[in-house]
Structure 1
């Protein structure tokens, strides 16, 4: 397994622990000065990984179109998320990265469509660059979530 995928699995464990140890009310609470909440950040990293790794490679994401619409770049929380959706996201944190790892080992990400990310302006040209950016992106959102936890 590529090192970025190992780190990604560990990052996802951190997000999972946050989901398990934070009340539904606090997962949904939008701190003052913020446009989103903890559950949105976690749903967002999940969707972003699927779009950058899978969709840009011509593969079908493991997450529904509804989830993609709800958590994609530029979206915001539209209301409280229920426990069922939290559980779905928690399960997908593990299953999606496991699937991505399996597909990576089978070299399934060959037909990668170049994409310039708005966050840094870098152009991703292959799956390895996408995985490196995904790690940066998830680390950034982990920091946001940890900051939100401190103010709740």
Structure 2
């Protein structure tokens, strides 16, 4: 499990770099030909992790229903993110790692609801969900690498 967490931490630190390298205006920009922006991708991977790991285990998790609705699968940006909203996402991006690791090692994940993802991956266990989460975050990091070329 340590290697799964190490990959996840590395991925999240790559996402964190976007806050230092791009302005709020750039994070909010949706380039022609794209349907989302850099900041939406960051919000989305936060929400997706909470859904995959916590909701998949019948647990509430640590994000609000409002945040979930803004960034869940099938959504796109509905407006510009403010400085304070950006700061909140930045905190969640990193804080969810320690909270999830603590919860995992404290054994709060007792069940997992098997399911098929929208991309055709069958998740039969919590471990599958953690591994798929890393894959999913890698996909969105790739999307962001494409977007950044046009902002």
Give the TM-score normalised by structure 2: 0.96
Deviation string 1:26-76 (CA, Å, 9 cap, x unpaired) is 101001100000000010000000000011101112111110000000011
Q: How far apart are the structure 2 equivalents of 1:115 and 1:106? A: 24
1:122 shift after superposition: 1.7
1:106 shift after superposition: 2.0
Tell me, which stretches of 5 or more residues in structure 2 are unaligned? none
Q: Report the secondary structure of 1:151's partner residue.
A: coil
Deviation string 1:53-105 (CA, Å, 9 cap, x unpaired) is 01110111211111000000001100100011110010001111111111111
Name which of structure 1's ranges 132-141 and 93-102 shifts more when overlaid on structure 2.
Answer: 93-102
Q: Report the secondary structure of 1:59's partner residue.
A: coil
Q: How far apart are the structure 2 equivalents of 1:81 and 1:107? A: 35
Q: How far apart are the structure 2 equivalents of 1:49 and 1:139? A: 12
1:61-100 paired onto structure 2 within 5 Å: 61-100=61-100
Q: Report the secondary structure of 1:142's partner residue.
A: helix
1:1-152 paired onto structure 2 within 5 Å: 2-119=2-119, 121-152=120-151
Question: Size of the alignment, in residue pairs?
Answer: 151
Pairwise CA RMSD of aligned residues? 1.0
Deviation string 1:111-141 (CA, Å, 9 cap, x unpaired) is 111121011x122111110011000100000
1:20 shift after superposition: 2.2
Tell me, which stretches of 5 or more residues in structure 1 are unaligned? none
Give the TM-score normalised by structure 1: 0.96
| Stretches (4+) displaced over 6 A | none
Q: How far apart are the structure 1 equivalents of 2:81 and 2:65? A: 17
